[in-house]
Amino acid sequence: MKIHTKPLRKASAKAQSAMEYLMTYGWAILIISVVLAALFQLGVFNPMTFAPKAPPGSCQVFRPNGPYTTSFINLEGVCSGELPQYVAQFNGQDYIYGSLTSYFGNNNPLTAVAWAYISPSGNGPIFGVTSCPPGGCWNMPFLSENSLTVFGWIWGVNSNNPISYNVPYAGWYMLAITYNTSGSGTEDFYVNGQLVGSASGQYGYTSGTTDYWTTYIGGDKPSGVNSYYNSLIANVQAYSTNLTSSQIQALYLEGIGGAPIDLQHLIAWWPLNGNANDYSGNGNNGQINNVNFVGNWYNGYTPP
């Protein structure tokens, strides 16, 4: 019986040609794949990379009659919710601090809002107040994180048992806490516009029993800091009222570059878009301690 070897020789030649191709171009393909993966990780192929970015100070509150006045106030500039050009990066050893002594020490209604990148390595206070009554100082982080678990608490309401919520994945989240003084006092904690927990009680101190109050972002006790945050923070807002659940939801839907929603009760607004200035028109500019502002921040951010 005659065996036809020509097809076998053709198949062998094709296999040899394929092997030669892989040997010649395989390393190049591997290198290209590694480079593409690296560029993807750096956000080069992220659609957020090409989205319009708002420069520092592009939106602010104008108060024609001066700080804390409410007549004829309005937003000025680019306030359409564009992504910020920068966010603040905290590395576990830095913070921003300032003073709002005229408000936070009087058991008043309040709302604190912040966007933060929550990650397995994230830990520490995001935004809060340090109170220093005679005899020592107390830290009151309204918003904080510990390894994918976020916390909302107010001193005196749930100091030893803060409201906690486990986020499902690493990424950007909007955290908000409100305090309503009616009745015995009510604290509500929100994540991405949704209520995740509540507590009842009264705020711990009044200004009459306190030497000074200091607000902080990313660290506590500015005079002798003992706790720091180590992730990204943006768009911190403070109000002299307890915003409603629908207002909190509306703030979230504005996205990370959203403007404040209740100008009448806005007491401070730190976008952290390249600086620690207060754009509420009330002049509560923050003092920076070794904080960096980064432009390539949008991995993990998906617009609401």
Q: What is the dihedral of CA 7, 11, 17, 22, to 10 degrees?
A: 170
User: Which of 39-43, 133-137, 270-274 comes out lowest in average pLDDT?
Assistant: 39-43
Token code pair at residue 134: 């005679």
Do strands 53-54 and 83-84 pair parallel, antiparallel, or not at all (unpaired)?
Answer: parallel
Query: How far apart are the C-alpha atoms of 31 and 37, rounded to whole Å?
Result: 10
Q: What percent of the chain shows pLDDT beyond 70?
A: 70
| Residue 55 DSSP SS3 | coil
pLDDT at residue 32, as a whole number? 61
Q: What percent of the chain shows pLDDT beyond 90?
A: 48
pLDDT higher than 70, residue 198: yes
CATH of 52-294, one of 2.40.40.20, 2.60.120.200, 3.40.50.1970, 3.40.50.300: 2.60.120.200
- CB 126 within 8 Å of CB 220: no
Q: Read off the pLDDT of residues 6-42 as tens digits, 9 standing for 90 and up.
A: 555 555 656 566 566 556 655 555 566 555 455 445 5
pLDDT at residue 91, as a whole number? 87
Please, which residues bridge with residue 83 across strands? Answer: 53
Query: How far apart are the C-alpha atoms of 259 and 231, rounded to whole Å?
Result: 22
Taking CA atoms, 269 is separated from 65, 106, 144, 286, 287, in Å, by: 18, 20, 18, 10, 14
pTM: 0.82
178 vs 222: which has the higher pLDDT: 178
| In the chain, where the domains are located | 1-41, 52-294
Instruction: Name the average pLDDT for the chain.
Output: 82
pLDDT at residue 133, as a whole number? 60
- CB 123 within 8 Å of CB 227: no
Token code pair at residue 59: 């939106």
pLDDT higher than 80, residue 49: no
Using CB atoms within 10 A of its CB, is residue 224 exposed (0-12), middle (13-18) or buried (19+)? exposed
Other CB atoms within 10 Å distance of the CB of residue 71: 9
Q: What average pLDDT does this structure show over 222-244?
A: 84
Token code pair at residue 128: 């809060």
Picking from 104, 139, 101, 109, the residue whose alpha carbon sits closest to that of residue 229 is 139
pLDDT higher than 90, residue 224: no
Query: How far apart are the C-alpha atoms of 243 and 188, rounded to whole Å?
Result: 10
Query: How far apart are the C-alpha atoms of 85 and 271, rounded to whole Å?
Result: 10
